[in-house]
């Protein structure tokens, strides 16, 4: 899944649901490299996918996490809970 544009409270719910549907069937690979901006909803989405992947024993691979998202995760003290980025 390649994400584009803004990951905000307005856009995250639909994207989150799409990711959950995929995790119910198979591993989820998400490319954030084309994301333009994020808010705290993007951090919540990523943590939610990580919990769901663990629960259903599927893999979650991410790459291209925006620095803004990483900074928010650090600010909230949850950076260590984010999935490791693939190279």
Q: At 86, is the pLDDT very low, low, confident or very high (cuts 50, 70, 90)?
A: confident
- Per-residue pLDDT, 58: 96
Q: Is the pTM for the entire model greater than 0.85? A: yes
Q: 76 φ, ψ to 5°?
A: -85, -5
HEC readout, 31-85: EEEEEEEECHHHHHHHHHHHHHHHHHCCCEEEECCCHHHHHHHHHCCCHHHCCCE
Kindly indicate the confidence band of residue 85, based on its pLDDT and cuts at 50, 70 and 90. Answer: confident
Average pLDDT over residues 34-49: 97
């Amino acid at each position: 899944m390649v994400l584009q544009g803004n990951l905000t409270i307005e856009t995250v719910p639909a994207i989150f649901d799409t990711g959950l549907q995929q995790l119910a069937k198979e591993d989820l690979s998400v490319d954030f490299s084309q994301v333009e901006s994020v808010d705290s909803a993007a951090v919540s989405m990523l943590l939610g996918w990580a919990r769901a992947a663990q629960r259903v024993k599927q893999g979650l691979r991410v790459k291209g996490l925006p620095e803004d998202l990483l900074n928010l995760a650090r600010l909230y003290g949850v950076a260590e809970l984010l999935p490791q980025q693939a190279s």
